């Protein structure tokens, strides 16, 4: 892998920001693998979140380790990929990136009202809309991520990210 070249994207943001939707469309357009971070939570944690109980940092540690290793395996195999994961805190993102070069974080950013309206219309979401404010409260906006405004249509969001990838080489 060439130094500085992007081989993997981590789409992050609060629940309802479009990580999975954007990630799947990007993966299709780029021919990259897509991974939904929610699929790597143990079933008991998913049940807790659906019941309205937030996860503790100690709950997230094995999940973050699994996602870190997933990214590392893709990079080692030369398989470009996209991971959708909330990773709202800087220390979570640092854990994913440690030793994984060629990864770009993309922050899908939107305001509370827009995201609440989206969440209210979603079925099967593991996070209750009343927990959204808690996510905004703990969100540490990344300093080194590509920030993408999610008020645009999904197609435009994906094109913006693809344009940035082209510019990055």
Average pLDDT of the residues in 126-138? 77
Which among 38, 147, 144 is positioned nearest to 94, based on CA atoms?
144
User: How confident is the model over 1-29, as a mean pLDDT?
Assistant: 89
Closest CA to 20 of 3, 47, 7, 38: 38
Distance CA 169, CA 29 (A): 17
Per-residue tokens: 82: 């996209």
- pLDDT (average), residues 24-32: 98
Residue 46 has pLDDT above 70, yes or no: no
Which H or E run contains 37?
none
* Domain 8-168, CATH homologous superfamily name and number: P-loop containing nucleotide triphosphate hydrolases (3.40.50.300)
Give the burial class of 8: count Cβ atoms within 10 A of its Cβ; 0-12 exposed, 13-18 middle, 19 or more buried: buried
What does the pLDDT look like over 64-86, one tens digit per residue? Answer: 999 999 999 999 999 999 999 99
pTM for the whole structure: 0.89
**pLDDT value for 58:** 75
**Residue spans of alpha helices (H) in the chain:** 19-30, 43-50, 57-77, 90-97, 112-120, 132-138, 154-168
Angle between helices 19-30 and 154-168 (to 10 degrees): 50
Question: Which region among 29-33, 41-45, 157-161 has the lowest average model confidence (pLDDT)?
Answer: 41-45
Contact between 12 and 87 (Cβ < 8 Å): yes
Contact indicator for 18, 150 with CB cutoff of 8 Å: yes
Contact 66, 40 (CB under 8 A): yes
Sheet holding 81-84, edge to edge: 33-36, 81-84, 8-12, 103-109, 146-149
């Amino acid at each position: 892998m060439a130094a500085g070249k992007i081989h993997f994207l981590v789409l992050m943001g609060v629940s309802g920001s479009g990580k999975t939707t954007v990630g799947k469309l990007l993966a299709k357009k780029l021919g990259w693998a897509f991974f939904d971070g929610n699929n790597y939570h143990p079933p008991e944690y998913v049940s807790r979140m659906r019941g309205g109980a937030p996860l503790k940092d100690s709950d997230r540690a094995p999940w973050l380790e699994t996602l870190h290793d997933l990214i590392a395996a893709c990079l080692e195999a030369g398989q470009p990929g996209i991971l959708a994961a909330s990773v709202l805190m800087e220390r979570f993102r640092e854990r994913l990136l440690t030793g994984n070069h060629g990864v770009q974080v993309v922050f899908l950013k939107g305001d509370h009202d827009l995201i609440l309206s989206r969440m209210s219309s979603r079925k099967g979401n593991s996070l209750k809309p009343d927990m959204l404010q808690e996510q905004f409260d703990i969100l540490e906006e990344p300093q080194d991520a590509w920030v993408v405004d999610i008020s645009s249509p999904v197609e435009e969001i994906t094109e913006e990210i693809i344009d940035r990838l082209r510019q990055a080489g």
